[in-house]
Amino acid sequence: MALGRRRPPAQLVHYSDRGSQYASDAYRAVLREHGIVCSMSRRGNCWDNAVVESFFATLKTELIHRRSWPTRREVTTVITEYIEVFYNRHRVHSFLAYRSPADDEQERRRTAAQAA
């Protein structure tokens, strides 16, 4: 979804945990195809990618483990809505000086435009 919508520049760093889906050859091939560098924490060391590890913990605590999900389609829809609507636009993050990711990105763009 992000690749289609955002079209990130080459050398973007993709942080992930060590989940099997992120370590799979197919997933890593898609990253390589788009010039994305994969950063994955070492086994037993969550501090390498603390921000993404925190995201996955939050996602599981606030959404996934609160109920059972009868279909993959349902959980995919709910996760997409959670990330796109709530997490990125409304939920504040201590790592981002208590701003939402959308507000932080907007501020970074504004600062870059002023510096140019």
pLDDT tens string 67-105: 999 999 999 999 999 999 999 999 998 888 999 999 999
pLDDT tens string 11-46: 888 777 676 777 788 988 988 888 888 877 666 665
Contact status, residue 108 vs residue 115, Cβ threshold 8 Å:
no
Tell me if residue 15 falls in helix, strand or coil.
Answer: strand
Centroid of chain to Cα 108: 18
- The number of folded domains in the chain is 2
69 and 27 share one domain: no
**What residues make up the domain containing 1?**
1-49
Residue 54: inside a domain: no
Give mean pLDDT, residues 40-68.
80
41 and 67 share one domain: no
> N- to C-terminal Cα distance for the chain?
30
